[in-house]
Amino acid sequence: MTGPRTGPAYDPAALARRARAELRPEHYDFIAGGAGEETALRENEDAFARLALLPRVLRGPGTGPGTGTRVGVLGREWPAPLFVSPTAFHRLAHPDGELATARAAAATGTPLVTGMAATTAVADVVAAARARDPEAVVWFQLYLQPEHEVTAELVRRAERAGCSALVVTVDSPVFGSRTRDLRNGFYDLPPGLAAENMRDLPGAAPGGTRDIAMWPAGWDDLRRLRDLTDLPLVLKGVLHPADARTAVEQGVDALLVSNHGGRQLDAAPAAVEALPSVAEAVAGRVPVLVDGGVRRGTDIALALSLGAVAAGVGRPVLWALATGGEDGVAELLSALRADFAQVLALCGGHRPGDLTADQVVARGFPYHRPRGERAW
């Protein structure tokens, strides 16, 4: 056999182990930990491991690994169905923090969702990305705040920075119980670090920051947000199909199926388990994205087969940042793209849309099912 071999250039478990050796224990636990007994955290990865892909064969010449992976999302073409999910406090992992992440994402053509709880202000994140690629896609993740004027100012900052969508996280009426943080007594950022997007907001002391409030927002609050901005709204944290249908009726532009990385409700299902029902409820009216437990190209392929248009990666970005800075993140994202391209070709696909739900089966069970019955 001759020819180049493609595939992941990293071992996600080994990457996490190396990051653990680099980081202070309480900082590693903040990034790695989940809520309660961390069942939802584990299930995000385990649920992918319980699924298998049935390849299709003899589909003729295609584009081959490394090409043919482009997808369209909210009016933009992405090089691959992969994005960087919002995660907090990147400067806990590396001094350059979100700046390094933004540069690496832009250099690899990977859309970035920068977090409201970032240790770098959104304007600086977008500037760093656009310095690498003037067309870089950066979205801003937002928690609706109890004071409407605070939400409005955050939206204006995202607009002025040049973000092209708002990702509204709606699964956090209260903070989840983060067992590791409670054990470590990790409640505040180290001196010199702050949630920079919360600086100088209405009601804050001069030059100071505000806490990020978690509160039970309602659909009326979402409508008020819709009136504030023309940016597309991506609703993050939707797991119930009834909520997905309501979101579409309310004019949301896309959905992001997520259980918050297992950091909120420990009894929540894995994101990939909730994905098919949400995609079915939406019925193609808006794009559906997913994050949680994505570690390999096979995970991206499974997510697309079950109804997503793209999958987000979170914790591995922070592991790569901790161990290799900007270069480490770029290597990770490039490896995931190459791995997905190979998996797509091995599944008989020429483009991401070729992956279908009938190619997903549960491991350990016969995969021949009556016509129309789900195998997952």
The bridge status of strand 71-73 relative to strand 310-313 is: unpaired
Alpha helices in the chain (DSSP H): 12-22, 25-32, 39-49, 97-107, 122-132, 148-161, 179-184, 219-228, 241-249, 271-282, 297-305, 315-346
Q: Give me the sign of the Cα torsion angle 148, 154, 157, 163.
A: negative
Contact status, residue 255 vs residue 233, Cβ threshold 8 Å: no
The residue annotated as part of the active site, out of 90, 148, 260, 368, is: 260
**Which of 320, 316, 299, 321 lies closest to 308, judged by CA?**
299
**Which of 275, 355, 349, 269 lies closest to 67, judged by CA?**
349
- Asked about 260 being catalytic, the answer comes back as yes
The bridge status of strand 71-73 relative to strand 82-84 is: unpaired
Angstrom CA distances, 270 to 20, 107, 113, 209, 294, stand at 24, 31, 21, 34, 11
Query: What is the per-residue burial (b if ≥16 Cβ within 10 Å, else e) of 80-94?
Result: bbbbbbbbbbbbbbb
- Which residues are the active-site residues? 260
